[in-house]
Structure 1
Amino acid sequence: MNAGQATRSDGPLRNLPAYLQIVRGRLRIAMTYRQNALFMLAVVILQIFILRKVWTALYGEAGVVNGVALTDVLVYLTIANLQSWAMQDLAVGSYLYSLVREGRIAFDILRPAGFVPQMLAHLVGGTLSMVLFATAALPLVALVGTLGPPASPAAFGYWLLSLFFAFGVSMLLNLIVGLGAFWTTEIGAFSMLFTLVSQFLAGALIPLYFFPGWLRTVAELLPFQATTFTPVAMYGGQLAGSEAVQAIGIQFLWIVLLAGAVRLVWSRALHRIVVQGG
């Protein structure tokens, strides 16, 4: 192998130390300002508790509704809400907004690591910090919610693989929302609306198998269900075998489509920066 080939092959990894530094930085920030993360985690735990009470009341004396047992629904809702919270890192939107507002965006763009990969590294660090908090809170979550083992070893394997793709879909969605900072002077309200819509259509509040036919069709045409319902339904065994493989394929397709959308949005955002700069 000649020197030119070695340089080309090492190209994608040459900025890895910079990305890891960003991830570590986000972890340090999360630990420094852990009160905010703990408050948000407390909100999620309260939501899990309320959902448990509501669904238990809805089931009443019926042990099974639409072929789904109450215990399975409660396990689904507990894992879905905890997973959704861990992956919903909208802090990158606030970070982008501050960069644009204060004019510091140029420094990040000029860095050789690439702007979009930098933002993805921020999202990875933010999600890892949330996973750490969520893992530490599992005993309390089990107390107020319902936790249980996966439906089978195969279901656990499907869940792990699907969770990886769900993380990819979630990161790209969060990045698209964050890039909205280039077009609006206030991103907080839009982020809140995105959280409400995505949680509902992802199946974090109501499992998709309880949606009316037309609403489930709408949800399945959008990427949100790929972040929550798909992996958690595999964990519980509602998606298995060929259906699980097909669902993972759909997750991969969403990653490809959303990556293209991120590239398009970023190119438009970069054009706005050039225009504003004269």
Structure 2
Amino acid sequence: MSLSRATRSEGPLRNLSAYLQIIRGRLRIALTYRQNALFMLAVLIVQIFILRKVWTALYGDAGVVKGVALADVLVYLTIANLQNWAMQDSAVGSYLYSLVREGRIAFDILRPAGFVQQMLAHLVGGTLSMVLFAAAALPLVALVGTLGPPASLTAFGYWLPSLLVAFGISMLLNLIVSLGAFWTTELGAFSMLYTLVSQFLAGVLVPLYFFPDWLRAVAELLPFQAMAFTPVAIYGGQLADGEAVRAIGVQLLWVALLAGTVRLIWSRAHHRIVVQGG
């Protein structure tokens, strides 16, 4: 009995080296084909610049709207867009689609490392590469956007775990979208729709406190706001102390729900695998 317990306890760590190798491989791919990431980073910088100009014009001479100062909104938008950009790794969806289409997915499934865990490792590597590019571009981002310190040390302390949980939510949502490759021959349009809807409802383009009441209520029922609005609002002090703790609790609940959804989808998806010629 003790041996079986030891074996089960070692199970999750048994393939750790394989997952680390996948993460390193994804990092190498991103650095090798860095032109694509640099182009996407240029698009992000332009978007931050446009948002700064638009919101500055919208505020006009009003220093505060709905209790929020323009400077705070600009910091929010800059950080929210940086976060969102770093977490949106669409390459895994294309990779999974190619595995299914070409029949190579059979090799990934037969490996000792779990298939879903392999995809999560790809997502971790992709996000880390995006974070590296974003960190290198911070001086330029600060020039076209607005960066600022957290509202307080307490806010920073809450922001860090909230950001990590937001990363987990983003990975799980990306994986759910990517698993659609088992049911459709084209992921491009669906991925674009997901990006548009998730950006808006996450509060990346418009902070949730400017939403109409009914739309904010809808957004708060969905997981997207937990990816961007929650951590950035904590950073800026819009969610403080008790509100921040409750918001992180909601984030953790979404992680559990989305993890269960991934498990359910995968239990259906692997029954649909058909490898041509075999």
Normalised by the length of structure 2, the TM-score is 0.97
**CA distance 1:276–1:264, shift in 2 (3 Å):** farther
Q: 1:103 to 1:276 in 2, by over 3 A?
A: closer
* Matches of 1:127 and 1:135, distance apart in 2: 12
Distance 1:3 1:53 in 2: 64
Instruction: Read off the aligned partner of 1:150 and give its amino acid letter.
Output: P
Match of 1:148, SS?
coil
The 1-side partners of 2:248 and 2:276 are apart by 41
SS of structure 2 residue aligned to 1:266: helix
Please report the RMSD computed on the Cα atoms of aligned residues, expressed in angstroms.
1.4
Q: Does 1:248 align with 2:238?
A: no
Question: What displacement does 1:4 show?
Answer: 3.7
Q: Deviations over 1:43-102 (max 9, x none)?
A: 011000000000000000000000000000000000000100000111110000000111
1:26 corresponds to: 26
Shift of 1:277: 8.8
Mapped to 2, the partners of 1:52 and 1:12 lie a distance apart of 45
- How many residue pairs were aligned? 278
The residue identity in structure 1 corresponding to 2:35 is Q
Displacement of 1:276: 8.3
Q: How does 1:97-246 map to 2 (within 5 A)?
A: 97-246=97-246
Deviations 1:173-210 (A, max 9, x none): 00000001111111111111100000000000000000
Distance 1:184 1:255 in 2: 25
Q: Secondary structure at the match of 2:62?
A: coil
Contact 2:103–2:276 (8 Å) recurs in 1: no
Q: Which amino acid aligns with 2:257?
A: L
What secondary structure sits across from 2:37 in the alignment? helix
CA distance in 2, matches of 1:165, 1:143: 29
How far did 1:8 drift? 2.4
* Unaligned stretches of 5+ residues in structure 1: none
Alpha-carbon displacement from aligned partner over 1:201-243 (angstroms, at most 9, x marks no partner): 0000000000000000000000000000000000000001111
The gaps in structure 2 that reach 5 residues or longer are none
Shift >2 Å, 4+ stretches: 1-8, 274-278
| Contact 2:169/2:226 (8 A) holds in 1 | yes
Distance 1:260 1:2, change over 3 A: closer
Q: Following the alignment from structure 1 to structure 2, what is the Cα–Cα distance between the partners of residues 10 and 248?
A: 30
Aligned to 1:35: 35
**Equivalents in 1 of 2:207, 2:220: separation in Å?**
12
Asked if structure 1 preserves the Cα contact closer than 8 Å seen for 2:103 and 2:274, the reply is no
Deviation string, structure 1 residues 118-137 (Cα, Å, up to 9, x no partner): 00000000000000000000
Structure 2 counterpart of 1:261:
261
- Which residue identity is paired with 2:152? S
Residue in 2 that maps onto 1:54? 54
Q: Which residue of 1 aligns with 2:90?
A: 90
Cα offset for 1:275? 9.8
CA distance in 1: counterparts of 2:275 and 2:239, whole angstroms: 48
Whole-Å separation in 2 of the counterparts to 1:277 and 1:199:
41
